[in-house]
Amino acid sequence: MTDLPHYQLYIDGAFCEGARAQRQQTENPATGEAWASFACAAPADVERAVTAARRALDDPKWRDLSQTARGKLLYRLADLVERHAQELGRLETTDSGKLLAETASQTAYVADYYRYYAGLADKIEGAVLPIDKPDMHVFTKPLPIGVVAAVVPWNAQMFLTATKLGPALAAGCTVVLKASEVAPVPMLEFARLIHEAGFPPGVVSVITGDAKGCAIPLTSHPDVDRIAFTGGPDTARHVIRNSAENFAVTTLELGGKSPILVFEDADLDGAANALIAGNFGASGQSCVAGSRGLVQRSIFEALVAKITEKAQGIVVGDPLDGGSHMGPLCTRAQVELIGRTLSEAQAQGATLRFGGAPLDRPGNYMAPTLVDCPSPEIATLHTEMFGPVMSLLPFDTEEEAIALANDSLYGLGSGVFTQNLARAHRVSGRLRAGICWVNTYRAISPIAPFGGFGDSGYGREAGMEAIKDYTRTRTTWISTSAEPMANPFVMR
> What pLDDT shows up at residue 128?
98
Residues 203 and 237 both lie in one domain: yes
Q: Does 56 map to a domain? A: yes
CATH number of the CATH domain containing 383: 3.40.309.10
- Give 204's Cβ-side CA count (13 Å radius): 29
Q: Does 366 map to a domain? A: yes
Which residues 6+ apart lie within 8 Å of 208 measured at CB?
7, 9, 24, 38, 39, 40, 41, 178, 179, 180, 181, 184, 187, 188, 214
> What pLDDT shows up at residue 492?
81
Residues 238 and 302 both lie in one domain: no
Q: Does 310 map to a domain? A: yes
> What pLDDT shows up at residue 2?
53
> What pLDDT shows up at residue 1?
44
> What pLDDT shows up at residue 146?
98
Residues 253, 301, 461, 483: which is the catalytic one?
253
DSSP type of residue 104: H
What is the radius of gyration, based on Cα positions, of the chain? Answer: 24
Q: Does 485 map to a domain? A: no
Which long-range contacts link 342-347 to residues 24+ away (Cβ below 8 Å)? 342/369, 342/371, 342/380, 342/389, 344/379, 345/371, 345/373, 345/378, 345/379, 345/380, 345/391
Q: Does 330 map to a domain? A: yes
Q: Does 491 map to a domain? A: no
Residues 225 and 273 both lie in one domain: no
> What pLDDT shows up at residue 3?
82
100: phi then psi, degrees, rounded to nearest 5: -60, -35
Residues 40 and 79 both lie in one domain: yes
Residues 285 and 343 both lie in one domain: yes
C-beta atoms surrounding 64 within 10 Å: 8
Residues 176 and 242 both lie in one domain: yes
Residues 308 and 343 both lie in one domain: yes
Residues 275 and 170 both lie in one domain: no
CA distance 89 to 99: 9
Residue 253 annotated among the catalytic residues of the structure: yes
C-beta atoms surrounding 132 within 10 Å: 6
Q: Does 202 map to a domain? A: yes
CATH number of the CATH domain containing 116: 3.40.605.10
Residues 174 and 189 both lie in one domain: yes
Whether the CB-CB separation of 187 and 486 falls below 8 Å is answered with no
Domain span at 210: 6-254
Instruction: Report helix, strand or coil for 100.
Output: helix
Residues 321 and 366 both lie in one domain: yes
pTM: 0.95
Which of 438, 461, 481 lies at the terminal end of a domain, its last residue?
A: 438
Residues 65 and 202 both lie in one domain: yes
Number of domains in the chain: 2
Which of 414, 438, 462 lies at the terminal end of a domain, its last residue?
A: 438
CA distance 443 to 423: 21
CA distance 202 to 216: 20
Give the distance from CA 43 to its chain's centroid: 25
Tens digit of pLDDT at every position of the chain (492 positions):
458 999 999 999 999 999 988 899 999 999 999 999 999 999 999 999 999 999 999 999 999 999 999 999 999 999 999 999 999 999 999 999 999 999 999 999 999 999 999 999 999 999 999 999 999 999 999 999 999 999 999 999 999 999 999 999 999 999 999 999 999 999 999 999 999 999 999 999 999 999 999 999 999 999 999 999 999 999 999 999 999 988 999 999 998 999 999 999 999 999 999 999 999 999 999 999 999 999 999 999 999 999 999 999 999 999 999 999 999 999 999 999 999 999 999 999 999 999 999 999 999 999 999 999 999 999 999 999 999 999 999 999 999 999 999 999 999 999 999 999 999 999 999 999 999 999 999 999 999 999 999 999 999 999 999 999 999 999 999 999 999 888 899 888
Residues 264 and 339 both lie in one domain: yes
Q: Does 419 map to a domain? A: yes
